[in-house]
Structure 1
Amino acid sequence: MAGSQDEDSRIAEGIYDPSVRTLYGALRVFDPDVVQSILDLVANLDGLSLRLAREKEYRHDIGNVNPSLWGIVRRLWAAITLAHEERDLENAPNLFDLCQSLAKFTRNLVAAEPANQKRTFENEPYMRALVYQYTSYTAMQDVNSFAATRMLVQALSNLVTANDPLAQELWQAYLNLPEEQLILLRLFGSPDDRTIVSTLVFILNCIHGKPERMRLLLSSPRGPRVCIGMLDRLNALVDADESSDLGKAFEVGYQVFAELTSEGLLPELYDTLAIDEEVITPHQTTLLKILDSYLQTSPSDQQAHISGTLVQMLISIFFTLSTYAQEAIQRSLGPGNADDHESPIETVTTPLSNGLNHSDVSDTPVAPAALQELDLLLPKVCEALVLVAQSLTTLILRVEGSSKDGSSNEPGTSAKQSVNAAASPSGEGLVESLVKTLRFLDIFVPRITFGKVVERPAPPGSTAQPGSAQTSSAQSPPPGFNYVKRDLVRLLGTLAADSRDVQDRMRACGGIPAVMNLCVVDDQNPCTEHAIFALRNLLHENKENQAVVDAIKPVGRWDERHVLQGL
């Protein structure tokens, strides 16, 4: 790429390093249509890249000793960007190697060198334009382009790492781009795992320890779209092997959202991801998964200043999800099976561990033989309910534990008291809503015992013939229902521990028999241990609750076919 004679002379006079002089010579005669010309430039760039990576002092001094270097770098980026724009990448495979070599050279040149970062930053528009080209549909179908894409992202990342002014300028610009030019979102569409890792590292480097830049992910025009792109990829990586590239991508992506959580931005982000008339979105569910992991793995002192905000968020989500689940199950059960306290319905429980059936004092509805309606969103709602219950339980237990060992000044039962005192907009308490949801789920979700669906008996006094039973048409519940009863009853037991108020409220709303009904073997919802623990907490030093259990008498026994027989 020839320049004017005067310009060439000025640049040549400012070069004192033989390697840089050779690089400039290759650039002057560069012709993107001549393969050997490309190869010569690649060889020179790769040689300098290796030395820049190995010798920190050389990296620090190269721009000072060779003041013309920055003009050379600018001409390199301009020339190679133009070569990509004027040619079809499918027919110019050598440009992949050239782009990779230039990006690697730039990445190593600016690494941990603020002065080099500042001088190179003027080339960012060229780098962005190339990333845009390499994230086109055609380019992403060619595996040979992946290395160049990764190197471009790594160069952008090193360009702003630990350089607050540049990071702020770049981050704000990127989150205000028109959506069709939003390269961060385009990068998340790459089929290359290592490109995803590099992209997430780039984002983490931009926001690390900077609340104002984290907030831009919520408040800027394109910030929420970037969050959605990250959550889409992370949702597919949850089960990835930790040692694989996919596992590394999940870990870096998790760190991005962990930083947002530690800054107290998660509730606002959750609301930002909402869609009108949707009770829960896939991205909100993924965010709840990340929150659950954060609460279980991060130190308690990192959670102390945001625990109150998280508890209030989770309470609000719980009421939304539990109300939806109750209404959806009610529609499925059909008319005449409403959970109506004014018209109690005669029921029986399913088998207890001793093989006897007990009369049930609750008004839990009995499922009909066939469902009237099936809500396809209900499994997703139950999946989210599991995450909310787990997160609330973790918050309560961790806050209490940190208080008892003296590592926190926050009152040990503050999170628990908030949950116990919570009420829905209609005035229903969280404890009562929790019990009602459990009772509906216990009827709606069939029990799987040793791989077989447990037959549900007809209630005493019904017109069913002796020995007949109602059988669920499903062989197993959808995956979204797995463990929902287990985690809800675990939360219930946690709330009831050492709380006379919760014990009495549970008795008043018929929660004791509901918990007893869960003391059974269920392969899909292994909740026996948690139900027994909850029952213990409900009965502890509460004679009224103990009397309720004593009043529940056996009315029959189950034979080997799980059919109810008279005593």
Structure 2
Amino acid sequence: MLSIELWNILLADPRDITETESTTLEAAAVTERASKYIAQHLYQRTAFLTEIDNGIQIDDETIWDRLRTFWEFLSYIFDPSIQEYSLTAVECNVALALGLGRLQRNLIAGVYRWQECAIDSEPAIRKLLFHITTFTRIEGPLFFPLQIVLTQLLSNLLSPTSLGVGERFVDTHLTLYQSGKRDDDVIIRLLDSRDVGVNLVTLHFVANLTRRSRRRFGTLWEGVGLSWTSKILARLDDWLILHDGRFDVAYTLFRPIFEFSLQQHAYTSLASPPEPITPSQTVLLKLIDHYLSSPHPNRSPSPHCYFIDLYKNLSEYSLASLQSGKDDARLPKVFEGLILVLEGLCSIGLACQERSDRRKSGNQQVQDKEGGEEELIGLLRKNETGVIRLLIELLKQLETFLPRRKHSSQQTDTTKLNEEQIRPITLLKRNLVRLVGILTFESIQTSDLVREYGGVHLLLSMTEVDELNPYLREHALFAVRNLMFHNPQNQQIIQQMNPVGVLGPNGELLPVPGKLQRTDDERHQI
């Protein structure tokens, strides 16, 4: 009977079990069978545990006491500073630890009273996890499965249940892990692993420790917790490309940023003065951009109001750098951050317009009422915020830095730049024009500001074909349409212009046909 085999092993002295390789492997096989049985018969766990406890009957010891004894012994023999074991002996001990870990992991999953019984094993399990992530072991394939199982065990041991019980365990141990003591912070060591499985369970572990609590989640943005967050953010771009599940789990881990409206706090926490923007902040902006591009609550005030100051800071840095004419290694990263901020603002603007359209059509829904995002767009349109001025000034500077190329035969200074250098500039120009188009839609006040800052002629010039930026023309046409709509002063600018040519099918400028040429009187006629 499996329960009898298991209690015979648990009753034995761990030193006797591991005395020979054969006894170690035999014990490992029994614990593996027991863990599989529990996994397949979760509703029979109580009966199975009762059989085990009745079989032990030694000084009122329970299965949890015996398991703790084994963990304490295993944490001792895996200490690399104690003594050296042969590779075969280590493999056998790993097999035993795997079996015990899977058994206890499956026994306590989702059952608070058993988590409470087993909590005394946590220090020994944590110590063992520390030893198997030490030195080269963190990257040793032999230890990957054990790192995974022990992390899952700790996660099951400490995670609060769906009913919210077990919060005390989480609070206590999260504080311990973030105390700054080297031996206690096993999470920072696990995050150094390059194994997909280890990364996944570690992300789940951190998510379980911080879920459903604003206070606990907030610890990820300060002290030791911030070092965990920075390590995760530093690898998100690679995980996104690999499509192995790590990015999705990490995004789920960071979802509470939006649930608790911590976007500004999180971004500020990742700052590193005097850097205008850090790599971690850039990755966070990508997560925020993903969030804003999908349906989301329209809270008031908007948790993204800080985007205004962020946009202004990055724009002013870009302007100063471009005007200096000096090489600036930081500028590409500033451009990348600015592109993400602009995309976020565009998403907010389009969401506002979509809600407005539904209200006008009579198909208004509960979530279509005006909120914080409409207030944010209103602030962007005000002259006092300086957003419109910076939009036009930065566009002018970028036009000088990267002139349009009307056709492939045209020789420009852009031949000195490679595609990698050109791409962020073209994306930035496109997003700047796109935001101008969104902000000027049905807003004469904003259209007037664009004209005052010399933006009308600039945007009109961008309606020409630009081989370096093929989609810029469409956004420029939309912006020009909005600038002209119900705005006689802007319309007058076009009326006073004299056509200099007609674009041919290949983008080349052809002479103006006679019937389109204007006299001076016609040009000045309103």
TM-score of the aligned structures, taking structure 2 as reference length: 0.85
- Asked if 1:474 is matched to 2:453, the reply is no
The alpha-carbon distance between structure 1 residues 211 and 566, as it changes in their structure 2 partners (threshold 3 A), is: same
Residue aligning to 1:103: 101
Cα shift at 1:98: 2.5
Residue aligning to 2:381: 420
Aligned-residue CA RMSD (Å) = 2.8
Q: Is the 8 A contact 1:19 1:48 kept in 2?
A: no
The alpha-carbon distance between structure 1 residues 254 and 482, as it changes in their structure 2 partners (threshold 3 A), is: farther
The alpha-carbon distance between structure 1 residues 563 and 76, as it changes in their structure 2 partners (threshold 3 A), is: same
Residue aligning to 2:350: 397
Q: Report percent identity of matched pairs.
A: 25
Judge which range, 501-510 or 53-62, deviates more. 53-62
Judge which range, 134-143 or 248-257, deviates more. 134-143
- 1:157-178 alpha-carbon deviations (Å, 9 max, x no partner): 1112223222222222212233
The alpha-carbon distance between structure 1 residues 176 and 518, as it changes in their structure 2 partners (threshold 3 A), is: farther
**Map 1:138-157 → 2, pairs under 5 A:** 138-157=136-155
Match of 1:293 among 276, 290, 293: 290
Cα shift at 1:62: 4.2
What SS does the corresponding residue of 2:302 show, helix, strand or coil? helix
Tell me the distance in 1 between the aligned counterparts of 2:435 and 2:286.
Answer: 17
Match of 2:174 among 171, 174, 177: 171
- Asked if 1:431 is matched to 2:388, the reply is yes
Q: Is the 8 A contact 2:315 2:394 kept in 1?
A: yes
Residue aligning to 1:117: 115
Match of 1:492 among 436, 459, 468: 436
Residue aligning to 2:249: 252
Q: Is the 8 A contact 2:109 2:157 kept in 1?
A: yes
Residue aligning to 2:62: 68
Q: Is the 8 A contact 1:188 1:233 kept in 2?
A: no
Cα shift at 1:554: 3.7
Residue aligning to 1:363: none
- Asked if 1:206 is matched to 2:166, the reply is no
Cα shift at 1:448: 6.1
Tell me the distance in 1 between the aligned counterparts of 2:191 and 2:86.
Answer: 22
What SS does the corresponding residue of 2:439 show, helix, strand or coil? helix
Cα shift at 1:29: 5.6
Match of 1:321 among 294, 300, 314: 314
What SS does the corresponding residue of 1:178 show, helix, strand or coil? coil
Tell me the distance in 1 between the aligned counterparts of 2:131 and 2:71.
Answer: 14
The alpha-carbon distance between structure 1 residues 540 and 146, as it changes in their structure 2 partners (threshold 3 A), is: same
Cα shift at 1:509: 0.3
Judge which range, 505-514 or 415-424, deviates more. 415-424
Tell me the distance in 2 between the aligned counterparts of 1:418 and 1:377.
Answer: 29
Tell me the distance in 2 between the aligned counterparts of 1:376 and 1:195.
Answer: 35
The alpha-carbon distance between structure 1 residues 542 and 80, as it changes in their structure 2 partners (threshold 3 A), is: same
Cα shift at 1:331: 1.1
Q: Is the 8 A contact 1:63 1:116 kept in 2?
A: no
Q: Is the 8 A contact 2:220 2:226 kept in 1?
A: yes
Residue aligning to 2:515: none
The alpha-carbon distance between structure 1 residues 476 and 449, as it changes in their structure 2 partners (threshold 3 A), is: farther
Match of 2:445 among 501, 512, 524: 501
Tell me the distance in 2 between the aligned counterparts of 1:75 and 1:493.
Answer: 69
Q: Is the 8 A contact 1:446 1:477 kept in 2?
A: no
- Greater helix share, structure number: 2
* One-letter amino acid of the counterpart of residue 441, structure 1: L
Cα shift at 1:525: 6.1
Q: Is the 8 A contact 2:126 2:186 kept in 1?
A: yes
* One-letter amino acid of the counterpart of residue 269, structure 2: T
* One-letter amino acid of the counterpart of residue 238, structure 2: A
Tell me the distance in 2 between the aligned counterparts of 1:271 and 1:104.
Answer: 41
Q: Is the 8 A contact 1:26 1:37 kept in 2?
A: no
Judge which range, 270-279 or 549-558, deviates more. 549-558
Residue aligning to 2:331: 378
Judge which range, 431-440 or 155-164, deviates more. 155-164
- Asked if 1:58 is matched to 2:44, the reply is yes
Tell me the distance in 2 between the aligned counterparts of 1:165 and 1:489.
Answer: 52
Q: Is the 8 A contact 2:21 2:92 kept in 1?
A: yes
Residue aligning to 2:493: 548
- 1:297-343 alpha-carbon deviations (Å, 9 max, x no partner): 2x33xx32266121x211111011100111111112xxxxxxxxxxx
The alpha-carbon distance between structure 1 residues 395 and 422, as it changes in their structure 2 partners (threshold 3 A), is: farther
- Asked if 1:539 is matched to 2:500, the reply is no
Tell me the distance in 2 between the aligned counterparts of 1:475 and 1:454.
Answer: 16
Cα shift at 1:423: 4.4
- 1:252-294 alpha-carbon deviations (Å, 9 max, x no partner): 1111222122201121111111011100000000000000001
The alpha-carbon distance between structure 1 residues 291 and 28, as it changes in their structure 2 partners (threshold 3 A), is: closer
Tell me the distance in 2 between the aligned counterparts of 1:99 and 1:28.
Answer: 11
Residue aligning to 1:387: 340
Q: Is the 8 A contact 2:377 2:439 kept in 1?
A: yes
- Asked if 1:268 is matched to 2:248, the reply is no
- Asked if 1:222 is matched to 2:208, the reply is no
The alpha-carbon distance between structure 1 residues 545 and 422, as it changes in their structure 2 partners (threshold 3 A), is: closer
Tell me the distance in 1 between the aligned counterparts of 2:446 and 2:393.
Answer: 15
Tell me the distance in 2 between the aligned counterparts of 1:509 and 1:522.
Answer: 27
| Count of aligned pairs | 485
Tell me the distance in 2 between the aligned counterparts of 1:167 and 1:122.
Answer: 14
Cα shift at 1:19: 3.8
Cα shift at 1:135: 2.2
Q: List alignment gaps of at least 5 residues for structure 1.
A: 1-14, 333-372, 457-469
Residue aligning to 1:410: 370
Cα shift at 1:110: 1.0
Q: Is the 8 A contact 1:187 1:195 kept in 2?
A: yes
Residue aligning to 1:356: none
The alpha-carbon distance between structure 1 residues 446 and 377, as it changes in their structure 2 partners (threshold 3 A), is: farther
* One-letter amino acid of the counterpart of residue 287, structure 1: L
What SS does the corresponding residue of 2:142 show, helix, strand or coil? helix
Cα shift at 1:561: 11
What SS does the corresponding residue of 2:267 show, helix, strand or coil? helix
TM-score of the aligned structures, taking structure 1 as reference length: 0.79
The alpha-carbon distance between structure 1 residues 16 and 328, as it changes in their structure 2 partners (threshold 3 A), is: closer
